[in-house]
Amino acid sequence: MVKICCVGAGYVGGPTMAVIALKCPNIQVAVVDISVARINAWNSDTLPIYEPGLDDVVKKCRGKNLSFSTDVEKHVSEADIVFVSVNTPTKTQGLGAGKAADLTYWESAARMIADVAKSNKIVVEKSTVPVKTAEAIEKILTHNSKGINFQILSNPEFLAEGTAISDLFNPDRVLIGGRETPEGKKAIETLRDVYAHWVPVDRIICTNLWSAELSKLAANAFLAQRISSVNSMSALCEATGADVSQVSHAVGKDMRIGPKFLNASVGFGGSCFQKDILNLVYICECNGLPEVANYWKQVIKVNDYQKTRFVNRIVSSMFNTVSGKKIAILGFAFKKDTGDTRETPAIDVCKGLIGDKAKLSIYDPQVRQDQIQRDLSMEKFDWDHPVHLQPMSPTSITDVSVVSDAYTATKDAHGLCILTEWDEFQKLDFQKIFDNMQKPAFVFDGRHVVDVEKLRKIGFIVYSIGKPLDDWLKDMPAVV
Ligand code: NAI
């Protein structure tokens, strides 16, 4: 029986391995991690991540051909195929700080694999890594190989959080990059056979290592670029009286452009987009391509601009100060159907409002208070380290309370901001919310959740990104 081990039981390692176990009953899958708390949670009834459909898949396979363990070395040494899906944070110090990927966790995983291996192995890069990482990993493994043959493959993951299970069941494509040697080709075939249990072979793309690594960075950069493109249009729409939803609908009808990823919002978040673009920028700079680097850097700049613009709209509409005012924040996760808050725009918006001395009352259906406190206390990029290695005991932010429903969050508030597009926010009783808020009552919709006209009829002053402005906001500067 083929044995697979995955190092790293996170948002990628957990769901991908659970689906492999479900679709390949003849393969034994072990997911290992250095975080005891994470592994305990994977072995409990409350999984460490919220993802629709995941519970069901895990319940079907756990205890059969799927296991979660902290005994990293044992499972790695027994495996034929070792996936590595560990953190790849952005470096905060030294060469490439603020841009380059920090491969500390990757390198330590590779050294551990070389140490404990007693038989030939295929080592699969599942984490998103800079181009040519496989070469570095290959060197670490072969220089410590004790005669064991290691084949390195790049198999980047394209799942989207919130739809991870359906993405994994029915991927647009699976990408496998490997060496073009006979051994490399054989390793590619072995991994292709795993996916071929449920993915049509014409959707399994095989390339060389560098193409696979770069394709992942390029795909994320293209997706983020679409969001920044439509967000840049949202600013122009507000200035001219156009409606960004109408513009993106009209633009997206063009078959060459397509409708997806054209929703204007307060900005993109998630663990990957910014990190992967910074990484791409760094690689371009290292290869003497400053024009290409600057082109991609602009995607991040527009995203930052969009968050700043949103905060400035709030402050300027509320008489240029939010000091001492209660502001309700509805939604903290970076998108709906996930509890993930990594790089969520809510962090920058909340920090901006706290900087102007607002009092925040935050509600998100899936994000817990300790996570929000931690996010608002952490330095940029610190989130992308294993939980037990993140800076300890963040000081509690006193002007923030986290509550368990939207009505408590908005009671006596001067304004409310919608930062995640949770379905339940569409069904709120806005008349009741209006009755319980201070007047004038403001709504700042960063996700196109509310019916603007309906809320204006109730009496709210409404700002919805990229939509024609409320009279109240017309003469106020968008960026102060
Ligand atoms: P994560 O932070 O949820 O999980 C990483 C796990 O690796 C942690 O549980 C950590 O404790 C563990 N770990 C770190 N070093 C280890 C070691 N030496 N031995 C054993 N375990 C170790 O991260 P996530 O989101 O799963 O991402 C992993 C990689 O996949 C990253 O490179 C990310 O960029 C990439 N990726 C993430 C996607 C996403 O939607 N989150 C999608 C596609 C790729």
Q: What is the average pLDDT across 266-294? A: 94
Residue 395 pLDDT class (50, 70, 90 cuts): low
Q: What whole-number percentage of the chain has pLDDT above 90?
A: 82
Which range, of 262-271, 360-369, 470-479, averages the lowest pLDDT? 470-479
Let me know if 272 is a catalytic residue: yes
Asked if residue 213 has its Cβ within 6 Å of ligand 1, the reply is: no
Q: How far is the CA of 149 from the centre of ligand 1 (A)?
A: 25
Instruction: Tell me how far apart the alpha carbons of residues 264 and 303 are, in angstroms, rounded to a whole number.
Output: 11
Residue 478 pLDDT class (50, 70, 90 cuts): low
Q: How far is the CA of 300 from the centre of ligand 1 (A)?
A: 22
Q: What predicted TM-score, i.e. pTM, was given to this entire model? A: 0.92
Residue 480 pLDDT class (50, 70, 90 cuts): very low
Q: What is the spatial order of strands in the sheet that 461-464 belongs to? A: 400-402, 359-363, 326-330, 415-418, 442-445, 461-464
Asked if residue 162 has its Cβ within 6 Å of ligand 1, the reply is: no
Q: How far is the CA of 145 from the centre of ligand 1 (A)?
A: 25
Residue 146 pLDDT class (50, 70, 90 cuts): confident
Alpha helices in 29-149 (DSSP H): 36-42, 54-61, 72-78, 104-116, 133-143
Alpha helices in 156-289 (DSSP H): 164-169, 182-195, 209-240, 244-252, 273-286
Q: How far is the CA of 10 from the centre of ligand 1 (A)?
A: 5
Instruction: Tell me how far apart the alpha carbons of residues 102 and 255 are, in angstroms, rounded to a whole number.
Output: 39
Q: Relative to the CA of 86, which ligand 1 atom is closest?
A: 7
Q: What is the average pLDDT across 135-162? A: 90
Tokens encoding 281: 């920028």
pLDDT of 91 higher than 90: no
Which residue is catalytic, options 5, 237, 272, 284?
272
pLDDT of 334 higher than 60: yes
Residue 199 pLDDT class (50, 70, 90 cuts): very high
Which range, of 10-19, 61-70, 107-116, 239-248, averages the lowest pLDDT? 107-116
Closest residue (by CA) to atom 12 of ligand 1? Answer: 8
Q: What whole-number percentage of the chain has pLDDT above 70?
A: 97
Asked if residue 86 has its Cβ within 6 Å of ligand 1, the reply is: yes
Closest residue (by CA) to atom 1 of ligand 1? Answer: 10
Instruction: Tell me how far apart the alpha carbons of residues 186 and 170 are, in angstroms, rounded to a whole number.
Output: 25
Q: How many residues does the chain have?
A: 480
**Is residue 401 exposed (0-12), middle (13-18) or buried (19+ Cβ within 10 Å)?**
middle
Asked if residue 386 has its Cβ within 6 Å of ligand 1, the reply is: yes
Q: What is the average pLDDT across 258-277? A: 95
Q: How far is the CA of 84 from the centre of ligand 1 (A)?
A: 8
**Is residue 156 exposed (0-12), middle (13-18) or buried (19+ Cβ within 10 Å)?**
buried
Q: What is the average pLDDT across 249-271? A: 96
Mean pLDDT of the chain: 93
Asked if residue 17 has its Cβ within 6 Å of ligand 1, the reply is: no
